[in-house]
Amino acid sequence: MKISVVRDILEANERIARQNRDLFTKNGLLVINLMSSPGAGKTSLLEKTIDNLKDNINIGVIEGDIQSTHDAERIASKGIPAVQINTGGACHLDGNMIRDTFKEFDFKLMDLLVVENVGNLVCPAEFKLGEDYKIMILSVTEGDDKPSKYPLMFHESSVLLINKIDLLPYVDCSLEKIKADSLKINPDMTIFQISCKTGEGLEGWYNWLRERVKISQ
């Protein structure tokens, strides 16, 4: 009984996600869904990415949080259209919440929509939003056992950004193990090693995004 309820919710969500996706495609909009544990660096990555790309690419942002408007304020301060979704307790965004924000954006003026999901390495992986790509961040401070413990997120994500590599000298974490275990779960995954603090490794990520924004137009 419980399983059928969950399946109904997921199926209803996929219908809405498909409708969102159709609208994004019609507008030549690239949409990415950014996911991670709390504090892995989603908003910091977004700030760096906006600073680097905003002169050539028109970006919009949807910020997902249970409560607070802290992240949307950080993004809006860069002159980027940003809409905050407060889930009021729910642990992930869904297609319907995304659809509710559409009236706040003019998609014709945008090239890239970034959705920052609620900080959670589990539930967001199950809910499609209509995005082109799921992108995940893992901080080296979380340890190198995360692919085997949270496999769905690694399975669903097209890109893994391993963040905070500036802290590698101070933590027990093997980059090689993270990469090997991630690719075992998802052999097509693209992996970047980055530090949002020092900027190291971010050029590859920017290029990955630039190429795909061009294709979607």
Binding site for its own copies (CB under 8 A): 2, 5, 9, 37-40, 65-68, 70, 89, 91, 118-123, 126, 139, 141-143, 145-146, 148-152, 164, 166-167, 170-171
Q: Which two tokens stand for residue 153?
A: 């997120």
Nearer to its own copies, 121 or 213 (CB): 121
DSSP label of 102: G
CA 141 to chain centre: 19
Shortest distance in whole angstroms from residue 19 CB to its own copies:
19
Q: Which of 13/158 has CB closer to its own copies?
A: 13
Cα of 132 vs its chain's centroid, Å: 11
Output 66 or 80, the one with its CB closest to its own copies.
66
Choice between 110 and 119, CB closer to its own copies: 119
Is the distance from CB of 189 to CB of 154 less than 8 angstroms? yes
Q: Give the shortest CB-129-to-its own copies separation in angstroms.
A: 18
Neighbouring-strand partners of residue 60 = 113
Q: Which residues contact 62 (CB under 8 A, 6 or more apart)?
A: 82, 83, 85, 93, 98, 101, 113, 114, 115, 116
In the complex, what is the shortest distance from the CB of residue 170 to its own copies, in angstroms, rounded to a whole number?
6
Determine the Cα–Cα distance for residues 146 and 214; give it in Å rounded to an integer. Answer: 33
Our CB check for its own copies shows the closer of 122 and 191 to be: 122
Q: Of 203, 24, 180, which Cα lies nearest the Cα of 102?
A: 24
Q: Which is nearer to its own copies, 68 or 77 (CB)?
A: 68
20 near 129, Cβ under 8 Å? yes
Nearest distance from C-beta of residue 110 to its own copies, angstroms: 26
| Shortest spacing between CB 60 and its own copies, in angstroms | 22
For 137, phi and psi rounded to 5 degrees? -115, 135
Q: How far is the CB of 145 from its own copies (least distance, A)?
A: 6
